[in-house]
């Protein structure tokens, strides 16, 4: 998450692969592990071990809420005042629509679209950190990547005040385990009855246990999910249109290739959630497509589902690492954002290293399980 203080310093907060909150100032690492944060709501002053950061007046409410969410996700103690709750929020989504959310006197959350009342009372919101999208009663909109954390934090504040049902990813929830240390049953939902046709942000471990060890309840879609050990069990539940979870073979972990040349750049890649992948070292001649392959090796996110952004601009696959680092003003490093855009899948497929979970169509013939 980025913020600009009243002195003009550019502050950047990230959660590193070990789950620690890092702070960068003007592109340089200031704190490798932020131990605590304190906030004075009256003066909009944020303090840590290194000093004070005074937030600019124009967006101090959502910036403070965004940093607070990152602190909660990283388990960093928050001292003094809580952030001031948001009362209204303006968003220009990725389609260019100007959205505004306001809590009215009746504690109802209203939504305006390009100046016109679009929804008198929002009742539900579903958020996905993978691509920054939010589904509400009127449809889906996507938050701008550079402002994703602060905007979703402010929107979550409004939603909680209005008693809105929030599903999907919680911006205040403790961050996922470091890359490469996921639990053995990190699950995807396949053909879920909720908002994700082929994937869901939930984990099997987070579903509500029932009286049967292989059955859990999903509060998001309101259905039971059945864990299957064999393809026969998967197919049997699929015939009944039930949500299923099954474990597929683990992928062999691969480490990023470290170039043998000194003519390299270091890349810091962060998800919209603020979670940072392990640092990448690539040759300056490496293309964005090469970088995506390295990211795929580290994170398991297929290169075809990745969008890499530098200061809000999406990088083309043919751009060279050295060139885009030069344009950012730091010739030997760059901070990139990673969006994951899932490709439509017509037929269910099994991917290595995952546990699939969801509601499948009546089965066709599969290969060995």
Tell me: the pLDDT tens digits for 150-181?
999 999 999 999 999 999 888 887 654 443 33
CB distance 54 to 45 below 8 Å: yes
Non-local CB neighbours of 271 within 8 Å, separated by 6+ positions: 129, 130, 277, 337, 338, 340
254, pLDDT greater than 50:
no
Same domain, 154 and 199: no
- Number of folded domains that form the chain: 4
Same domain, 70 and 128: no
Same domain, 41 and 154: no
User: pTM, whole model, 2 decimals?
Assistant: 0.64
d(C-alpha 335, C-alpha 276), whole Å: 10
Domain membership of residue 314 (yes or no) is yes
Domain membership of residue 61 (yes or no) is yes
Same domain, 7 and 76: yes
Return the C-alpha torsion angle 312, 23, 26, 64, nearest 10: 70
Instruction: Work out the mean pLDDT of the chain and round it to a whole number.
Output: 80
Same domain, 205 and 354: yes
Least confident range of 60-69, 170-179, 206-215, 307-316: 170-179
Q: Which of 187, 257, 271 is nearest to 16 (CA)?
A: 271
> Which of the listed residues 50, 80, 110 is the one where a domain comes to its end?
80
pLDDT computed for residue 273 by the predictor: 77
Domain membership of residue 218 (yes or no) is yes
d(C-alpha 23, C-alpha 30), whole Å: 6
Domain membership of residue 175 (yes or no) is no
Same domain, 319 and 336: yes
Instruction: Report helix, strand or coil for 233.
Output: helix
Tokens describing residue 327 = 């344009």
Domain membership of residue 336 (yes or no) is yes
Same domain, 72 and 95: no
Domain membership of residue 316 (yes or no) is yes
| pLDDT top residue among 196 and 120 | 120
Domain extent at residue 58: 2-80
Same domain, 243 and 354: yes
């Amino acid at each position: 998450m980025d913020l600009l203080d009243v002195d003009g310093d550019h502050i950047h907060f990230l959660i590193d692969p070990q789950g620690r909150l890092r702070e960068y100032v003007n592109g340089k690492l200031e704190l490798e592990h932020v131990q605590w944060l304190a906030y004075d709501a009256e003066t909009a002053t944020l303090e840590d071990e290194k000093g004070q950061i005074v937030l600019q007046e124009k967006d101090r409410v959502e910036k403070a809420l965004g940093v607070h969410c990152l602190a909660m996700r990283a388990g960093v103690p928050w001292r003094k005042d809580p952030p001031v709750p948001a009362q209204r929020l303006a968003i220009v989504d990725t389609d260019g629509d100007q959205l505004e959310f306001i809590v009215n006197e009746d504690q109802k959350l209203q939504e305006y679209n390009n100046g016109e009342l679009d929804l008198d009372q929002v009742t539900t919101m579903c958020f996905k950190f993978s691509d920054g999208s939010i589904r509400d009663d009127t449809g889906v909109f996507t938050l701008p990547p550079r402002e994703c954390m602060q905007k979703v934090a402010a929107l979550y504040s409004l939603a909680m005040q209005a008693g809105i049902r929030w599903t999907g990813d919680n911006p205040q929830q403790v961050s996922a385990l470091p890359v490469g240390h996921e639990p053995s049953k990190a699950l995807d939902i396949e053909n879920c009855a909720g908002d994700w046709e082929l994937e869901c942000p939930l984990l099997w471990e987070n579903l509500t246990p029932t009286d049967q060890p292989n059955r859990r309840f999903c509060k998001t879609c309101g259905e039971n999910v059945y864990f299957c050990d064999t393809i026969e069990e998967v197919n049997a539940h699929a015939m009944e249109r039930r949500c299923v979870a099954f474990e597929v073979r683990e992928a062999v972990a691969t480490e990023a290739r470290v170039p043998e040349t000194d003519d390299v750049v270091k890349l810091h890649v962060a998800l919209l959630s603020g979670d940072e992948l392990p640092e990448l070292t690539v040759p300056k001649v490496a293309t964005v497509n090469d970088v995506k392959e390295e990211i795929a090796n580290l994170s398991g996110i297929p290169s075809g589902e990745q969008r890499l952004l530098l200061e809000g601009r999406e990088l083309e696959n043919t751009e060279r690492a050295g060139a885009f680092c030069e344009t950012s003003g730091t010739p030997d490093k760059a901070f990139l954002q990673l969006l994951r855009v899932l490709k439509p899948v017509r037929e269910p497929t099994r991917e290595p290293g995952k546990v699939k979970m969801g509601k499948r169509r009546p089965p066709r013939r599969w290969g060995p399980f």
